[in-house]
Amino acid sequence: MDNCKPTVLWTGNGYHIYIVLETRPLELIKELKELSNEPSNKFLKFGE
């Protein structure tokens, strides 16, 4: 994260900060796969 250059947006309702992260699909994490068949989709729906 030393070379991190986040995108910062002012939308009128506050600041929004976007940081690109490299990660693996949540389906590859055994503990999450045991809880759901589609952990990535569940996470995205939770974040909405």
Give pLDDT tens digits for 3-47.
Answer: 888 999 999 989 999 998 888 999 999 999 999 999 999 999 998
User: What pLDDT sits at residue 39?
Assistant: 95
Q: What are the domain boundaries of the chain?
A: 7-47
User: What pLDDT sits at residue 34?
Assistant: 94
User: What pLDDT sits at residue 23?
Assistant: 87
* Residues facing 17 on adjacent strands: 8
Indicate if the alpha-carbon torsion angle 30, 36, 41, 42 is positive or negative. Answer: negative
Q: Nearest CA to 17 among 4, 2, 36, 34? A: 4
C-alpha 38/C-alpha 27 separation (Å) is 7
- In terms of Cβ atoms closer than 10 Å to its own Cβ (0-12, 13-18, 19+), residue 27 is middle
